[in-house]
């Protein structure tokens, strides 16, 4: 069965996935909206940057984040200068890493959903006296709601399975940055296969259920292949 440190790792994992998903929805919505509507000719460059974590080894992303967030990096250095501590090997650092790592899983379904809504409903709303912000909240958001569901579930599930980035910038500090995927690795290293089984099966089942929900409730939208 699960011991206390396993439960702590599980709690940290869920907290990390939940917080990252929330931040991603808040940042990803305006970004996806802009990407879906702009006619800027270099928009493909930004789309490629957003999609990078799909193909990049997580260690590469983790390495750069470590450099940036560490005491000698631009972000970490600035934090230190302001009297804080560097973000590497902290929970906050993990959240920042996860936001980058799971970005395409949130932004792409949202962008697809906004593109599928099209211009017409927004034009209709304009002729019915709705201001641009009003149109976004009363027409674009409700029509794209299936995309939000997909984005939230994929962002959450993908963050659960994070390993390489976490190891690079979070280290393996029990109670602070040790997540389930790393706890499993530790158990296997220590030949504690029973514990590894329980955690792995739990993660497997949770991920399967979430993806099944996405595919069942939401057949109209393209789902990014993890």
Partner 1 sequence: MSIEVRFRIDRGEFSLDVDLSVPAHGVTSLFGPSGCGKTTLLRAIAGLERHRDGFLKVGDMIWQAAERFVPPHRRPLGYVFQEASLFAHLSVRRNLEYGVKRVPEDQRRVALTQAIDLLGIGPLLERRPDRLSGGERQRVAIARALAVSPRLLLMDEPLAGLDVNRKQEILPYIESLHNQLDIPVIYVSHSPDEVARLADHLVLLEAGRVVATGGIHEMLTRLDSPLAHGTDAETLIEAAVAGHDDTYHLTHLDFAGGRFTVVRKPLPVGSTVRLRVAARDVSLTLEHQSGTSILNIFPATVDELIPEGEAQVMVRLMVGGVPMLARVTRKSASVLDLRPGKPVYAQAKSVALLS
C-alpha 95/C-alpha 57 separation (Å) is: 18
Closest to partner 1 by CB, 87 vs 140, is: 140
For residue 143, the 8-state DSSP code is H
How many residues sit close enough to partner 1 to count as binding (CB under 8 A)? 18
Closest to partner 1 by CB, 141 vs 210, is: 141
The per-residue b/e assignment along 146-177, b for 16 or more CB within 10 angstroms, e otherwise, is bbbbbbbbbbbbbbbbbbbbbbbbbbbeeeeb
* Alpha carbon 151 to its chain's center: 9
**Which residues ranging from 110 to 129 are in contact with partner 1 (CB under 8 A)?**
120-121, 123-129
> What token pair was written down for 107?
């932004």
C-alpha atoms less than 13 angstroms from C-alpha of 213 in its C-beta half-sphere = 15
C-alpha 88/C-alpha 71 separation (Å) is: 8
The count of other CB atoms within 10 Å of the CB of residue 66 is 23
Our finding on whether 225 is near partner 1 (CB under 8 A) is no
Our finding on whether 84 is near partner 1 (CB under 8 A) is no
CB 177 within 8 A of CB 170: yes
Closest CB 118 distance from partner 1, rounded Å: 10
> Distance between terminal CA atoms of the chain?
29
Our finding on whether 134 is near partner 1 (CB under 8 A) is yes
Closest to partner 1 by CB, 128 vs 212, is: 128
Our finding on whether 130 is near partner 1 (CB under 8 A) is yes
Using the rule CB under 8 A, which residue among 2, 23, 143, 211 binds partner 1? 143
Closest to partner 1 by CB, 4 vs 129, is: 129
Closest to partner 1 by CB, 139 vs 169, is: 139
Closest CB 156 distance from partner 1, rounded Å: 24
Closest to partner 1 by CB, 72 vs 119, is: 119
Our finding on whether 131 is near partner 1 (CB under 8 A) is yes
Our finding on whether 201 is near partner 1 (CB under 8 A) is no
Interface with partner 1 (CB under 8 A): 120-121, 123-132, 134, 138-139, 142-143, 145
């Amino acid at each position: 069965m699960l011991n206390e440190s396993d439960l702590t790792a599980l709690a940290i994992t869920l907290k990390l996935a939940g917080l990252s998903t929330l931040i991603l929805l808040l940042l990803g919505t305006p970004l996806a909206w802009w990407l879906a509507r702009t006619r800027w000719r270099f928009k493909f460059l930004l789309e490629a940057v957003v999609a990078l974590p799909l193909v990049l080894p997580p260690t590469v992303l983790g390495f750069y984040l470590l450099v940036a967030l560490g005491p000698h990096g631009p972000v970490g250095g600035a934090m230190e200068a302001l009297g804080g501590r560097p973000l590497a090997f902290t929970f906050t650092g993990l959240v920042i890493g996860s936001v980058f790592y799971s970005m395409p899983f949130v932004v792409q379904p949202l962008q697809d959903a906004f593109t599928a809504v099209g211009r017409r409903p927004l034009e209709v709303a304009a002729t019915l006296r709705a201001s641009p912000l009003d149109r976004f909240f009363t027409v674009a958001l409700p029509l794209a709601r299936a995309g939000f569901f997909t984005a939230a579930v994929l962002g959450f599930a993908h963050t659960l399975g994070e390993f390489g980035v976490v190891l690079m910038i979070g280290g393996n500090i029990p109670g602070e940055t040790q997540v389930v995927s790393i706890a499993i690795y530790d158990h296997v290293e220590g030949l504690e296969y029973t514990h590894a089984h329980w955690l792995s099966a739990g993660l497997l089942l949770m991920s399967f259920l979430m993806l099944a929900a996405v595919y069942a409730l939401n057949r109209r939208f393209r789902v990014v292949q993890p």
